[in-house]
Amino acid sequence: MLKVGVIGAGSMGRHHVRILSELEQCELVGIADPDESREELAQQYKTRYFADYHELLQLKPQLVSIAAPTKLHYELARAAIRAGVNLLVEKPVSDDLAQARELVSLAEARQIVFAVGHIERFNPAVQALKQLIELGELGQVLTVHNLRVGPYHGRILDTGIVLDLGVHDVDLISMLLGEQPQRVFATGFKRVHPHEDHAVLQLAFKDGRAGVIELSWNAPYRMRNILVSGSRRYAMCDMANQRLMVYEENEDFDRLMPEPRTVLKSEPLRAELASVVNCVLTGTPPLCPAEDSIKALEVCLAALRSLDSGQAEKVGG
Ligand SMILES: NC(=O)c1ccc[n+]([C@@H]2O[C@H](COP(=O)([O-])OP(=O)(O)OC[C@H]3O[C@@H](n4cnc5c(N)ncnc54)[C@H](O)[C@@H]3O)[C@@H](O)[C@H]2O)c1
């Protein structure tokens, strides 16, 4: 049995608690959260509650999930690594590049599994889309357009929408195009949030290939879509409903006909946590290592610079 713990048991962390308490290979040894109302959650899942995460680390869990606010990821992850504990940190890995890189080298030096929760990588519709691309069914991928919009839920205050949600799409588009963009141009504004809450990012890749991301906390409807234009076919992946459509040309080549592809629906967070548990048990590398999350962070930080400067910004520049 792998001893596991959860640090930060709010809106996302409570799902980590539920799933880790159910995974067969795990024993949930405790949860840590300064909000004492979380003690009830610990009782519900028959585990121990700590207001102070140091006490949880003293139990020497073999893996912790960190789902506290992004601003605290660095402090909490560093403490876990120093205590020799493998970790899954919720996305974004951090809001600071130097701190994220420091965490990666600390984890490497201690040979600790350090995964980041880019949950959409575990979405079965995204996995089916990735497979289509790898099999060449769409031809060469030319553009990927992601839409992630919905109403603001009032929880995330420490970062704007680019770091909070855009990091999913930057990661996905880079994964689907097989490389990191070279430049990014962003426009946006704020209406309901202290930071930007609506943004459009244009990502420029090599050879004119492009990614476009629209992010909003001002929309009345919730949509999470990926539209892929390939040299042979188009595809539309609905991440929220786990559906995938491929658009085929009809016999007269005058219309594109949607053809649904089979997606076996499943809970992405369960797949993500099971995968990280397996990495720790078998010593295999995680599907989403922290290094990949750093690449997405670099692009998001360039997008934030672009929002300020009004110019396209070099990634990593
Ligand atoms: N992968 C995803 O799809 C996804 C979805 C939502 C949130 N997230 C990420 O999860 C993280 C938390 O977001 P949320 O929406 O659950 O926020 P939240 O505010 O609902 O929960 C955060 C929890 O962390 C606790 N906390 C604060 N300080 C702490 C400390 N020092 N030690 C331990 N716990 C502490 C808070 O009391 C709260 O219970 C963020 O990084 C966010 O980006 C990821």
Neighbours of 307 (CB within 10 A): 21
- The CATH number of residue 251's host domain is 3.30.360.10
Mutate to test the pocket of ligand 1, among 6, 7, 12, 88 (most ligand atoms within 8 A of CB): 12
Pair type for strands 256-261 and 243-249: antiparallel
Residue 54 binned pLDDT confidence (cut-offs 50, 70, 90): very high
Report the separation in Å between the CA atom of 10 and the middle of ligand 1, taken as the mean of its atom positions. 5
Please give the backbone phi and psi of residue 165, each rounded to the nearest 5 degrees, phi first. Answer: -110, -35
Residue nearest to atom 3 of ligand 1 (CA): 119
CA–centroid distance, 147 to ligand 1, in Å, is: 23
For helices 268-282 and 13-22, the axis angle rounded to 10 degrees is 60
Q: Which residues line ligand 1 (CB under 6 A)?
A: 7-13, 32-35, 38, 53, 67-70, 72, 90-91, 117, 119, 155-156, 164
Cα Rg of the chain (Å, integer): 20
- Average confidence (pLDDT) over 153-163: 87
pLDDT, tens digit, 9 for 90 and up, residues 100-137: 999 999 999 999 999 999 999 999 999 999 999 999 99
- Is the same domain home to 42 and 162? no
pLDDT at site 11: 96
**Residue 317 pLDDT > 70:** no
Residue nearest to atom 27 of ligand 1 (CA): 68
Q: Which atom of ligand 1 is nearest to the CA of 32?
A: 33
- Report CA(247)–ligand 1 centroid distance (Å): 38
Residue of 11, 40, 123, 215 to test ligand 1 pocket, by largest number of atoms within 8 Å of CB: 11
Are 133 and 61 found together in one domain?
Answer: no
Residue nearest to atom 37 of ligand 1 (CA): 35
Cα–Cα distance between 273 and 93 in angstroms, integer? 16
Residue among 33, 52, 76, 118 whose CB has most ligand 1 atoms within 8 A, to mutate: 33
On the question of pLDDT at 31 being above 90, the answer is yes
Q: Which atom of ligand 1 is nearest to the CA of 89?
A: 41
pLDDT-derived band at 26 (thresholds 50, 70, 90) equals very high
Q: Are residues 127 and 109 in the same domain?
A: no
Alpha carbons 168 and 119: distance in angstroms, whole number: 8
Say which DSSP state 284 is in.
Answer: P
Please report, for the domain that includes residue 85, its CATH number.
3.40.50.720
Same domain, 195 and 47: no
Indicate if 260 and 276 belong to the same structural domain: no
Residue 293 lies in a domain: no
Whether residue 177 is found in the same domain as residue 304:
yes
Task: List alpha helices for the chain, DSSP H.
Answer: 13-22, 39-44, 53-58, 73-82, 97-109, 124-134, 161, 167-177, 268-282, 290-309
**Residue among 41, 55, 90, 118 whose CB has most ligand 1 atoms within 8 A, to mutate:** 90
Closest ligand 1 atom to 9 CA: 39
175 and 310 share a domain? yes
In a domain, 144, yes or no: yes
Q: What is the pLDDT of residues 204-256, one digit of tens each?
A: 999 999 999 999 999 999 999 999 999 989 999 999 999 999 997 666 656 67
- Per-residue confidence (pLDDT) for residue 158, from 0 to 100: 86
Burial class (CB in 10 A: 0-12, 13-18, 19+), 50: buried
**Of 22, 114, 105, 106, nearest to 63 (Cα)?**
114
159 and 253 inside one domain: yes
Kindly state whether residue 41 falls inside one of the protein's structural domains: yes
DSSP state of 46: T
Q: What is the pLDDT of residue 153?
A: 83
Phi-psi region of 310 (alpha: psi -120 to 50; beta: other; left: phi over 0): left
Domain count for the chain: 2
What pLDDT, on a 0 to 100 scale, did the predictor assign at position 180?
A: 96
Give pLDDT, residue 46. 97
Which residue range forms the structural domain that includes residue 278? Answer: 2-118+269-288
Residues 249, 189 within the same domain: yes
Average pLDDT, the chain: 95
Residue 7 shares a structural domain with residue 147? no
Residues 169 and 307 in one domain: yes
Assess whether pLDDT exceeds 70 at residue 52. yes
pLDDT value, residue 229: 94
User: What mean pLDDT do residues 180-204 have?
Assistant: 95
Task: With beta carbons less than 8 A apart as the criterion, state whether 113 and 279 touch.
Answer: yes
Same domain for 19 and 82?
Answer: yes
Distance CA 157, CA 37 (A): 20
pLDDT the model gives residue 190: 92
